[in-house]
Amino acid sequence: MKRVYIILLAVVIMATVQFTLIDPHQSAFVNSDARYLLNSGGVGSGKTYSVVLRALKLCLEYPGIKGLLGAQTMPLLRDTTMSEFENLVPSGLIKTHNKSTNTFVLKNGSSILFRPFDDANKFKSLNLGFIGIEEMTDIKHDIFKMLRTRLRQKNVNHSLFGATNPGAFTNWVYKDFFENPIPGSKVINSISRDNPFLPSSYLADLETLRITNPEYYSRMVEGVWGALEGVIYQLPMSQRVEPSTLPETYDEIIAGLDFGFDHPTAMSIIGIRDPKYYLIDELYKRHLSTSDIISTVSQLHKQYRFSAIYCDGARPEIIQDLQNAGLPAVSATKDVFEGIMFVKGMVNAGRIIVSQNCHYTIREFDSYIWDQGSTVKEVPIKLNDDCMDAIRYAFFTHLRNSVNVPRISMSDVSYVKPHHENESSSADAINKLRLRYRHRI
């Protein structure tokens, strides 16, 4: 209610629109005059909200302005920016909504297009007053540079703005906004605790990372840029490909399914074309009921014809419901450490290829790390791991008995810790692991 009141007040003022928000970082971002603006911050700090509110401010301030809001993929855009826009903007401000083109027109003549940033050719003819980008680190630098040339609508204060969680120093966003800032740019930094609407239980969960994984906490909560130590998978850029380059047919298509509710339900769809294994699509959605899962997976099965769906065995009742619906669902092998090492070997051998459409999968590949606070053999940190679990279920269960994987090197498994003094040493654990994989070398 407070947010809607602020918007309605802005309609009355109309000349120079200013939003007064509880969070000063969000207020600074929304009301900035910078041509190029970045909201860099921790998870849950209200970045998407501020992007939508800035777009709305410009629409109200410049009647007739044409804006573009986008993300790397359409599913990400729907789940974040579009959803926030529909929840935030009062229906009384909207004149039309064209669902086929994902275009909203306000009653004052301003319009907002929602588009994925997967193809630069889609934007070459646009004349825009503003552009907003969800998760700026996800898009290619060439897309960003091309978007800058689209800011050419007359009689408006042009603005290209975006939000992102921090990434590595090598990312182009760091170079353009921090290391060597482009002219007219500004950065607003925020942390998770800045958002007054976050539940205390969520903040408490984040605070545990301060002890268990301080580097991850530094990036994802405090919003600090830099490389993460202990990243489990090193997925090269050469193994992240455009959807148009994927094979047209596959020998077989399988899927891994990790159930959730408050955490997302995640499904990884894998096309097998020996010797490569292509992650071609994903499902990533919160608050899916069992009937929702059955309906969604059934639709995907019609499209892909899975030979098997490897599911989280912790929910046997859902697996049974999927089977009753005629789906090839089975319980997955859930050995976490061995499964991770198996997938790691496949990644290192260049045999796992990921479509750029799999946004959440790629994001988790880059942030899936070992729990530094573990006192036993290392386990991954249980945060933003839903796609990684789904992938592990599929690969480890379906492929471990039939695929030749590279020998696990000493550097790959040197982090194994003995549980107690009388247990085997790390070297013994390595030897045992090698024996298990020997028949596939």
Same fold, 2-198 and 237-407: no
Q: In what order do the strands lie in the sheet with 130-134?
A: 94-98, 103-106, 111-116, 66-71, 130-134, 159-164, 36-41, 185-190
What pLDDT is recorded for position 213? 72
Distance CA 35, CA 159 (A): 5
What pLDDT is recorded for position 403? 52
What pLDDT is recorded for position 211? 77
What pLDDT is recorded for position 411? 43
Residue 278 sits at φ, ψ, to 5 deg, of -105, 125
pLDDT over 90 at 192, yes or no: no
For the chain, the average pLDDT equals 84
What pLDDT is recorded for position 376? 55
The tens digit of pLDDT for each residue in 340-374 reads: 999 999 999 999 999 989 989 998 998 888 876 66
Domain ranges of the chain: 2-198, 237-407
What pLDDT is recorded for position 415? 35
What pLDDT is recorded for position 67? 97
The tens digit of pLDDT for each residue in 113-161 reads: 999 998 878 887 899 999 999 999 989 899 999 999 999 999 999 999 9
Residue 420: pLDDT band by 50, 70, 90 thresholds? very low
- Rounded to a whole number of angstroms, the distance between the first and last alpha carbons of the chain is 62
The helix or strand, by DSSP H or E, that contains position 432, with its residue range, turns out to be helix 426-437
**Cis-peptide, bond into residue 275, ω within 30° of zero:** yes
Q: 276 with 353: CB under 8 angstroms?
A: yes
What pLDDT is recorded for position 408? 42
Region 26-31: what's the mean pLDDT? 90
Residue 425: pLDDT band by 50, 70, 90 thresholds? very low
pLDDT over 90 at 195, yes or no: no
Cα-based torsion angle of the residue sequence 163, 44, 73, 156 in order, rounded to the nearest 10 degrees: -30
Least confident of 11-25, 66-80, 173-187, 235-249: 11-25
Angle at which helices 24-31 and 47-61 pack, to 10 degrees? 40
- Burial tier of 328 (Cβ tally within 10 Å: 0-12, 13-18, 19+): middle
pLDDT over 70 at 31, yes or no: yes
pLDDT over 60 at 441, yes or no: no
Least confident of 139-148, 301-310, 409-418: 409-418
pLDDT over 70 at 426, yes or no: no
Give, in order, the Cα–Cα distances in Å from 125 to each of 29, 129, 134, 234, 292. Answer: 28, 13, 21, 38, 39
* Nearest Cα residue to 307 out of 255, 261, 343, 358: 255
Least confident of 72-76, 166-170, 198-202, 400-404: 400-404
Name the CATH architecture for the domain at 237-407. Answer: 2-Layer Sandwich (3.30)
pLDDT over 80 at 409, yes or no: no
pLDDT over 60 at 433, yes or no: no
Calculate the CA 319 to chain-centre distance.
Answer: 26
The tens digit of pLDDT for each residue in 277-292 reads: 999 999 999 999 999 9
With pLDDT > 70 as the criterion, what percentage of the chain qualifies?
84
More confident: 333 or 304: 304
Region 420-435: what's the mean pLDDT? 34
Which residues lie closer than 8 Å to 285 by C-beta, 6 or more apart? Answer: 79, 264, 265, 296
- Paired tokens of 154: 């007359």
Q: Superfamily assignment of 2-198 in CATH?
A: P-loop containing nucleotide triphosphate hydrolases (3.40.50.300)
Residue 18: pLDDT band by 50, 70, 90 thresholds? low
Helix (H, G, I), strand (E, B) or coil at 225: coil
The tens digit of pLDDT for each residue in 198-235 reads: 888 888 888 887 877 777 788 888 888 987 777 889 89
What pLDDT is recorded for position 377? 58
Residue 103: pLDDT band by 50, 70, 90 thresholds? very high
The tens digit of pLDDT for each residue in 382-391 reads: 878 999 999 9
What pLDDT is recorded for position 402? 61
* Nearest Cα residue to 128 out of 77, 65, 63: 65
pLDDT over 50 at 418, yes or no: no
Do the bridges between strand 252-258 and strand 308-311 make them parallel or antiparallel, or are there none, so unpaired? parallel
With a threshold of 0.75, does the pTM exceed it?
Answer: no
Distance CA 113, CA 163 (A): 18
The count of C-alpha atoms lying within 13 angstroms of the C-alpha of 286, restricted to the half-sphere facing its C-beta, is: 8
Region 318-330: what's the mean pLDDT? 97
Residue 170: pLDDT band by 50, 70, 90 thresholds? confident
